[in-house]
Amino acid sequence: AETWDMPTPYGDATFHTQNIRTFAEEVAAATDGALEITVHSANSLFPHAEIKNAVRSRQVPIGEFFLSRLSNDDLAYGLDSQPFVATSYEDAAKLWAAQKPVVTELLAKEGLMPLFSVPWPAQGLYTNGEIKTVDDLAGLRFRAYNAALEEFAALAKAAPVQIEAADIPQAFSTSQVEAMITSPSTGANSKAWDFVTHYTAIDAWVPKNIVVVNQRVFDRLDPAVQEAVMTAAAAAETRGWEMSKEEAAAKTKVMEENGITIVQPSAELVSGLQAIGAAMLENWNEKASDEAKAILEAYNQ
Amino acid sequence: MAELSDPVIFGILLTLLIALLAAGVWVALSLMIMAFVAIVAFSNAPAGLVLATTLWGHSHSWPLAALPLFILMGEILLRSRLSEDMFSGLAPWLTRLPGRLLHVNVLGCAIFAAVSGSSAATAATIGRMSVPELKERGYPESLILGTLAGSATLGFLIPPSIILIVYGVATEQSIARLFIAGVLPGIMLVCLFGGYVMVRAWMAPDTIPKEDDTMSLREKIAASRRLLPVMLLIVGVIGTIYTGVASPTDAAAVGVVLAAVLAVMTGSFGRKEFIEALMSATRTSCMIALILFGAGFLAIAMGFTGIPRNLATWIGTFDLSPHALLTVLTVFFVLLGCFLDGISVVVLTTSIILPIVQAVGIDPLWFGIFLVLVVEMSQITPPVGFNLFVIQGLTGIDILRVAKAALPFFLLLMLGLLLITVFPGIVTMLPDAMGN
Amino acid sequence: MRRVLDALYTAAGGLAALCILAICLLISAQVGLNILARVGGPALSFTIPSYADFAGFGLAAASFLAMAYTLRAGAHIRVNLLVSRLPQGAQWVAEMLSLALGTAMVGYATWFSVQLLMESLHYGDTSPGIIAVPLWIPQLTMVTGLVLLTVALLDTLVESLRNRAPVIIDFGSE
Ligand code: NA
Ligand code: NA
């Protein structure tokens, strides 16, 4: 029997990790214990930043990470985190269909093969007080942790502030930051009601995690085991997307129950944000590789 | 080797570590060698690549950047008149209090803990100033070292706290609530530590040096003017955090700049002193960094071998009552804490332990604080205790002697653990008051 | 040779110190900008791009570059309570053993850190932040520091072997 160590960045309460644990159980069951996967959650094996490279150099055979972390390597990885490109699960599925062949090819250059990818719930806006138009964002200290968000803040005339994830509660309570964009999962799990009053469901983008395996390690597996892994992976992807949808609804409800005002964005806010998204996409187009542009083309068809 | 049981493997590795340390191998390298043996003998992972990844992955983290800066701040204070001034300004007020200036160690650590998230930084910064001052004034070494080693652990409990962030992220507890939950237990520990110092002073009054007791109130107030620069520093650093212009890591840089400006203004600090301070801070933070890398490699080795995970699973098989479970877990964490650093103990075991704990109806928020107290204990137990390392680094006094001096504080932390178990309200009262 | 090596260790230590100073200045500058933004409003709000990443890389450089210097200064800590009670001959043997084990362990780490660097170069790995930094640049400080530490350990081993006595005096040890 073979044992695989699998690092993931997220904790056990995250639906992604729960999904992966089920995946591991299914692989073990389908292969009759020939392949056991040990899940190491919450960065307990490798830090998030090192997981992809650890799989690449076969320190571990398999691992999970946030796909758009790799946008600096190629913008093709980051299209799911580009604001207002794909904002619903339907669009996100369509985008992943367009993205998958390109991402597969890019990862293959590093000896990696994607097994499955599962989205986070769509990203909403957390603020103190209601945001009715894009103008309401002007001047707010806005959390920006990557280049796209910094650009977004600049276009919305907000002030980008770099806050590490762990510092968020304190940063809000001391007004170091006044607005952020993240998923309802993260909002509910970090008990956002302790520090914000309003959640606006702007559904800015639907980012994904991806699970990759080292190709050489995978190729060495018995064909029957390989097939079991691929079957379980396909099931995990389907299940993960469903879990994500349920999560979005459940966690939004948790926030509402705890006193956060859930706001559907006004038409004015939506059109303003879409204008920003369009401007960002134009800049994106200038920098994107041919592969990345091909994804957008396929998606827009 | 697969037939060896986990407790046996654990025993072999621990023996190896103790042998290496006893032979005088550097602490960081002993940890690395032990981890290397663990990976090669008891797992399939490629040791060399994992080591390189760990060295790189653990070396550039943002929260860690605060460490050298806080150490530098301590060095600047030591080499200027500021730390001497602080003790001279406080001395007249503490003449009647049993234990006198030893309380500066306890309260100094508590105040600094409100700025820094780590207990090593707290020990390094406060200890840099207080150890030489208190020694010079003739306080007993064991109490100086013990109060410092013990009180510095507050860095983890009083917010901000790296360990609560790690626990909060791993278990998806609200970090804001965990921070608030740490406040009362922190105050409780300050009282326990301060109380212990008073009892010791009361039992053997001759061991505590006399401070000048003839000053009038007016003279005392006049002497207190010397406290002003340090108070400005404290207000400045805490102020930048709580007005939101600086994150906790940012605040370390603010501390260095303010300390340097104040040191120059009090006229006791020049280019030569600054270079000395900088080089000394470079050595101390490099020493701590190398141990952190060794500890990180050991943690990952433990992750691959699965020993802590298996032991935790094994504990779960006994179906213990809540109090029995907590007792067993305390012993388990103290044992692991002997040779793993606190953060690793948390990340390696929570995913097994938390479901067991929740199954018997223990509040995960309360358990986070429980865990922090146990981790604090692990900071002062040999052979691997970061506060011990920092204090040996500052004073040259061997960690085993420091550990002996810290033993009463280990027991006080144990008492603290008992108190929050009997009166869980100490932990849950404030977060419950946050509403909803 | 002795002088050249000592100068090398000290120079790297000095460079590490400069890195700490640079982290301090970088973060202070950002705090200054934060204050400016508070006073001046959104029109005057600026962030230094990826300053947290740069502070992290500065920390890595400071930690690794100072290692050899810190070793020679006797500031890497060890438990000497037991060894110091041994007769001098045995102390010397223990020192040799420590240095030999240390050289082997750090040499091994150095070798694989070179592999890591080569891999980063080969795949063109970059940092994920606002500014994409090619990772081989900060990783080069790691490799340099580890090479120096290996050299310093080996150097100390040879020196102790010649002197028939430990040469590193632990900081503050009685
Ligand atoms: Na703290
Ligand atoms: Na310990």
Smallest Cα distance from C99 to chain B, Å: 8
CB-based contact B291:B27 (threshold 8 Å): yes
Half-sphere exposure of residue A211: CA atoms within 13 angstroms, side-chain side: 29
Digit-by-digit pLDDT tens for chain B (436 residues) are 446 788 888 889 989 999 999 999 999 999 999 999 999 999 999 999 999 999 999 999 888 888 999 999 999 998 988 888 888 888 888 888 899 999 999 999 999 898 888 899 999 999 998 999 999 999 999 999 999 999 999 999 998 888 888 898 888 888 888 989 999 999 999 999 999 999 999 998 888 888 767 788 888 888 888 888 888 998 998 888 888 888 888 899 999 999 999 999 988 799 999 999 999 999 999 999 999 999 999 999 999 999 999 989 988 899 899 999 999 999 999 988 888 888 888 888 888 899 999 999 999 999 999 999 999 999 999 988 999 999 999 998 999 999 999 999 999 999 999 999 999 999 999 988 876 4
What the block records as the tokens of C66 is 């100072």
Question: What's the pTM?
Answer: 0.95
Q: Which helix (H) or strand (E) holds B187?
A: helix B175-203
Would you tell me which residues 201-220 of chain A have a C-beta closer than 8 angstroms to some C-beta of chain B?
none
pLDDT recorded at residue C113 = 98
Question: Taking CA atoms, what residue in A is nearest to C33?
Answer: A161
How far, in Å, from the CA of B356 to the mean position of ligand 2? 24
- Bridge partners (DSSP) of residue A261 are A198
Q: Which residues of B touch A171 (CB under 8 A)?
A: 244, 247
CB within 8 Å: A159 and C37: yes
CA–CA distances in Å: residue B289 to residues A223, B27, B56, B296: 46, 12, 12, 10
Tell me which residue has tokens 């018997």: B360
Q: Which helix (H) or strand (E) holds B406?
A: helix B399-422
Q: Which residues of B touch A47 (CB under 8 A)?
A: 57-58, 61
Compute the distance between CA of residue B73 and CA of residue B257 in angstroms, rounded to an integer.
8
Which of A218-228 are b and which e, b meaning 16 or more Cβ less than 10 Å from the residue's Cβ? beebeeebbeb
Q: Which residues of C touch A137 (CB under 8 A)?
A: none
Backbone angles phi, psi at B262, to 5 degrees: -65, -40
How far, in Å, from the CA of B378 to the mean position of ligand 2? 4
Q: Which residues of A touch C129 (CB under 8 A)?
A: 72, 146-147
How far, in Å, from the CA of B7 to the mean position of ligand 2? 18
What the block records as the tokens of B203 is 């039992």
* Probe site for chain B from A191, A195, A217 (most B CB atoms < 10 A): A191
Neighbors of chain B by Cβ distance (3+ pairs < 8 Å): A, C
B375 Cβ partners below 8 Å, 6+ apart? Answer: B156, B163, B333, B337, B342, B343, B345, B346
Q: Which residue in A104, A137, A76, A105 sits closest to A268, CA to CA?
A: A137
For residues A5, A7, A8, A11, the Cα torsion angle rounded to the nearest 10 degrees is 80
Q: Which residue in B390, B379, B357, B354 sits closest to B156, CA to CA?
A: B379
Compute the distance between CA of residue B234 and CA of residue B171 in angstroms, rounded to an integer.
33
Q: At what angle do helices A223-257 and A15-30 cross, to 10 degrees?
A: 150
* Positions of chain A with pLDDT lower than 70, given as ranges: none
Q: How many CB pairs under 8 A join A and B?
A: 115
Compute the distance between CA of residue B78 and CA of residue B133 in angstroms, rounded to an integer.
9
* Probe site for chain A from C27, C123, C126, C135 (most A CB atoms < 10 A): C123
Half-sphere exposure of residue A154: CA atoms within 13 angstroms, side-chain side: 11
What the block records as the tokens of B193 is 């530590």
pLDDT recorded at residue B3 = 61
Q: What are the residues whose beta carbon lies below 5 Å from ligand 1 (ion)?
A: B 113, 117, 155, 158, 161
Tell me which residue has tokens 């390696």: B348
CA–CA distances in Å: residue C85 to residues B131, B370, C82: 26, 40, 6
What the block records as the tokens of C18 is 């400069």
CB-based contact B62:C56 (threshold 8 Å): yes
**C-beta neighbour count of B346 within 10 angstroms:** 25
Q: Which residues of B touch A185 (CB under 8 A)?
A: none
Q: Which helix (H) or strand (E) holds C55?
A: helix C51-65
pLDDT recorded at residue B1 = 42
Q: Which residues of A touch B62 (CB under 8 A)?
A: 164
CB-based contact A39:A24 (threshold 8 Å): yes
CB within 8 Å: B23 and C83: yes
pLDDT recorded at residue C56 = 95
Tell me which residue has tokens 């103008």: A135
* Probe site for chain B from A59, A174, A183 (most B CB atoms < 10 A): A59
**C-beta neighbour count of A123 within 10 angstroms:** 23
- The reply to whether C137 touches chain B by the CB within 8 Å rule is no
Q: Which residue in A280, A282, A284, A70 sits closest to A154, CA to CA?
A: A280
Compute the distance between CA of residue B310 and CA of residue B8 in angstroms, rounded to an integer.
13
The shortest CB-CB distance from B400 to any of C81, C146, C173 is to C81
What the block records as the tokens of A135 is 């103008």
CB-based contact B29:C101 (threshold 8 Å): yes
Q: Which residue in B64, B75, B380, B286 sits closest to C75, CA to CA?
A: B286
Q: Which residues of B touch C140 (CB under 8 A)?
A: none
pLDDT recorded at residue C174 = 37
CB-based contact B335:A76 (threshold 8 Å): no
Digit-by-digit pLDDT tens for chain C (174 residues) are 899 999 999 999 999 999 999 999 999 999 999 899 888 877 787 888 888 899 999 999 999 999 999 999 999 999 888 888 999 999 999 999 999 999 999 999 999 999 999 999 999 999 988 899 999 999 999 999 999 999 999 999 999 999 988 888 776 543
CB-based contact B134:B235 (threshold 8 Å): no
pLDDT recorded at residue A71 = 92
DSSP assignment letter at B173: -
